[in-house]
Amino acid sequence: MTFEPDYSAPSSAKPSWWRRSWDRVRGWRPGLSTAVASSGGRKVWGWTWRILVLLLILYYPLGALVTEDIDDDPQFTAHNVAPGESKAVATAADLVTREVDVHTWTPMMPFLTPAGLLDNMPNFQRGIMSALGRFSTELMDQLGRTRGSSQTDRDLEQARGFLNEQPNIWLWQPSVSLLPSTTSAQKYRAGRDRLIAYNKRLGSGQAVFERRADNLQALLDRIASDLGSDSAAIDQHVIEKAGDLFDARCDDIFYFNKGRLYVYYLLLRDLGVDFQNVIRDRELTTAWNGTVDTFRIAAQLDPWVVWNGYPDALLIPNHLLAQGFYLLRARTQLREITNILLK
């Protein structure tokens, strides 16, 4: 049995591209161009909104990845410190420049920006500024004055005010004012400028930086008190949330502490230069270097994911407890140094 082709059936093959184009030109009539343009416009709009949605989807995650930079470089230091200037003050000023101008100051960024999605970097930067605010306060109250009855240095007083401002102030805060406001980054820049001005006056002999043992001991006591507060926060959170695999706050605590530990490491390292005579005379070189190294190790802890597992867990670690161990060890070493300075 055979089948003969049906020559009367229409061919399913499409005409060539040039044939279709010629048929369009030959069949064109006035009044049909609007419909064709409308069809083309719909196609353009269809592609446009798809591209916009794609860009919006990529804008936040890619922008956040580009913005995030938890910079815990242990080699960071101030350069070109003039004779007579404080190395620790210069490092503090340069650290503000790095976090505000080189990187993005993320704690103040709104949800409209990719940085608004970030979590770890904002907490790290909050910890940094918390430690710098503490240092600026001690500069004004202790190191920058001859005695408690002497006059407060004007630059240090202003630096203390600016560096202790809230870290999350953006251009516009409707809860405070409908007018544009000064951002946290602008205030920190102003505090940085006051530190630089003070240090330059210090180098020229027009300001005071008392390199006495009692001033160093008071500063270390304040740092130790901050570490004690951080350890209490870790303890309370572990008691309440240990073993919770969906704990969204443990990384906030971890990176805030990491930022503070990082700043204290840099400052203690450079205070060892500023107070080298006191450290040498009290035979504290070995103890001082050991304390600085503990701060460095604590600041360098960098897990891929921060877990708050049970303290005796087999598989899921508890990174808050690991950080807390080095934090308390550093605090104990600071107390050992201050005890020697009191004698």
Q: According to the model, what pLDDT value does residue 77 have?
A: 95
Tokens describing residue 294: 């503990």
Nearest to 139 by CA among 84, 203, 207, 77: 207
pLDDT > 90: percent of the chain: 68
Torsion of Cα atoms, 206 then 275 then 271 then 213, to 10°: -100
Q: Model confidence over 78-124: pLDDT tens digits?
A: 988 999 999 999 999 999 999 999 999 999 988 878 888 889 999 99
Pairwise CA distance, residues 253 & 127, whole Å: 9
**DSSP states of 270-286 as a string?**
HHHHHTHHHHHHTT-HH
Q: What's the whole-model pTM score?
A: 0.84
Average pLDDT over residues 132-150: 87
Pairwise CA distance, residues 50 & 77, whole Å: 48
Three-state DSSP class for residue 37? helix
Pairwise CA distance, residues 66 & 198, whole Å: 35
| pLDDT band, very low/low/confident/very high, at 171 (cuts 50, 70, 90) | confident
Q: Note whether 131 and 267 are within 8 A (CB).
A: yes
- Lowest mean pLDDT: which of 48-57, 100-109, 117-126, 189-198? 48-57
Residue with tokens 């070995």: 286
